[in-house]
A and B are shown apart, each in its own frame.
Chain A
């Protein structure tokens, strides 16, 4: 097991710096929003987390396809890592979304498309973990995980669309303002900068965590291998 690669060490530092800068920007650089006040600052983290969570979901699905076609165990490790990290990101997105809702509309939960879909994705991930949990054979576990990741990646957008047609009260910031969308606000250039920077930061955090988690997965395999060798 090779020691932490130089590039990863650098990435760790870069990511940390970006994160600190992002936090500073959110609190000191971004302007105070007129209607919602300080609560609005949640927005910068909330959306970034959701988008990066979606990225993780996509990585898991692609890793699933790659595993089924190539059979290389490393794709399974990537897929599992992506799901685990995406799980956390979506959780943060949901919690921050809840805070946002409380600040904007006085309720802790709104059944709008994005928040609801995020909650459904968490349930999908929970199902993914439970599926893997119930299988002994590592190869079968990897295959089933891959299949479920692919199936869910196809289903969730359809879920989102169907809920979207169903109801809409989530703030539509980028793109056309849908009729009846409350709580939306205009983004000033400064806000846009902070938002973009936040998005960049969380992408870096995702990549950093993913790399670490993949290394952890490989280490776990090596350990398991040694354990089996001593048993046999």
Chain B
């Protein structure tokens, strides 16, 4: 290998410009960038939030909920809301990269591809958690239901992780097709059913004060799902973004 001409002595790459240090650095850079851009435009969050609140409103009229029915149906309503609002967020997050060719910009950087995946996925998770954090109190107030059960919050957290893990992967595929936005829910929902079932049953369990022993299988299912799909995403993301 011939010696490479060093033209500007001032520019030196930092010493930890490789391995784990760079991985973490690029990961946080991507998350930070998504947060900063969103803070400016607030497009993503406002779209997700307004949509979520509208869905809850529609449910109010679509399902005649007396206090009794409400107890059993709350978890389902919440999760349908999160699932649909979630697709909005996933779509926009990836579309933002695709539109100005920024995805290429990310791929050109000397970082592991999975850092891009995790950066986007964590960013998506944060947005989803923010929306959930606003929707839960609103629902609480509208329907006089106490939703501040730590168990419930745990289930929602685990469920969101699974949803976003698969969703980020699929949205990076969907964004490269002709049918884009329309395709994501079609790809995502069949795969995310275990999360929905486990999250709804687990949430209902906590809301109705069921025995932890009964709720345990649902939490385990969520954990298993999260672990499997995060691991698979790590292995498979490269193939999605390469050409």
Whether B187 contacts A147 by the Cβ 8 Å rule is no
Whether A131 contacts B194 by the Cβ 8 Å rule is no
State A166–B192 Cα separation when bound (angstroms): 16
State A130–B188 Cα separation when bound (angstroms): 13
Whether A148 contacts B229 by the Cβ 8 Å rule is no
Whether A147 contacts B224 by the Cβ 8 Å rule is no
Whether B198 contacts A154 by the Cβ 8 Å rule is no
If A123-B190, A150-B236, A163-B197 touch, whether A158 touches B224 (CB-CB below 8 Å) is yes
Interface size on A, residues (CB 8 A): 30
- Bitwise, B161-194 to A at CB < 8 A (1) or not (0) is 0000010011001101111100100110011111
Whether B186 contacts A159 by the Cβ 8 Å rule is no
If A134-B177, A150-B232 touch, whether A162 touches B198 (CB-CB below 8 Å) is yes
Whether A147 contacts B217 by the Cβ 8 Å rule is no
State A204–B192 Cα separation when bound (angstroms): 33
A8 close to B (CB within 8 Å): no
Return the contact of A147 from the options B179, B194, B239 (Cβ within 8 A): B239
A196 close to B (CB within 8 Å): no
If A140-B243, A151-B232 touch, whether A162 touches B221 (CB-CB below 8 Å) is yes
Whether A162 contacts B193 by the Cβ 8 Å rule is yes
Whether B190 contacts A120 by the Cβ 8 Å rule is yes
Whether A140 contacts B190 by the Cβ 8 Å rule is no
Q: Which residues of the other chain, B, contact A158 by a CB distance below 8 angstroms?
A: 194, 221, 224-225, 228
Report how many A-B pairs have Cβ atoms within 8 Å. 89
Whether A162 contacts B197 by the Cβ 8 Å rule is yes
Whether A68 contacts B194 by the Cβ 8 Å rule is no
If A140-B176, A143-B239, A158-B221 touch, whether A151 touches B186 (CB-CB below 8 Å) is no
B113 close to A (CB within 8 Å): no
Whether B194 contacts A159 by the Cβ 8 Å rule is yes
Whether A135 contacts B176 by the Cβ 8 Å rule is yes
Nearest CB of chain B from residue A89's CB, rounded to whole Å: 18
Nearest CB of chain A from residue B118's CB, rounded to whole Å: 17
A220 close to B (CB within 8 Å): no
| Chain A contact residues, CB within 8 Å of chain B | 68, 120, 123-124, 126-127, 130-131, 133-136, 140, 143-144, 146-148, 150-152, 154-155, 158-159, 161-163, 165-166
| Chain B contact residues, CB within 8 Å of chain A | 166, 169-170, 173-174, 176-180, 183, 186-187, 190-194, 197-198, 201, 217-218, 221, 224-225, 228-229, 232, 236, 239-240, 243
Q: List 14 A-B contacts (CB under 8 A).
A: A68-B239, A147-B236, A148-B170, A148-B187, A151-B191, A152-B191, A155-B166, A155-B193, A158-B194, A158-B228, A159-B193, A161-B194, A162-B193, A165-B218
Shortest beta-carbon contacts, A-B, top 8: A134-B177, A158-B194, A162-B197, A134-B179, A155-B191, A134-B178, A124-B190, A162-B194
Other A-B pairs, 6, CB within 8 Å; known A131-B174, A152-B190: A127-B190, A131-B173, A131-B187, A147-B173, A148-B187, A158-B194
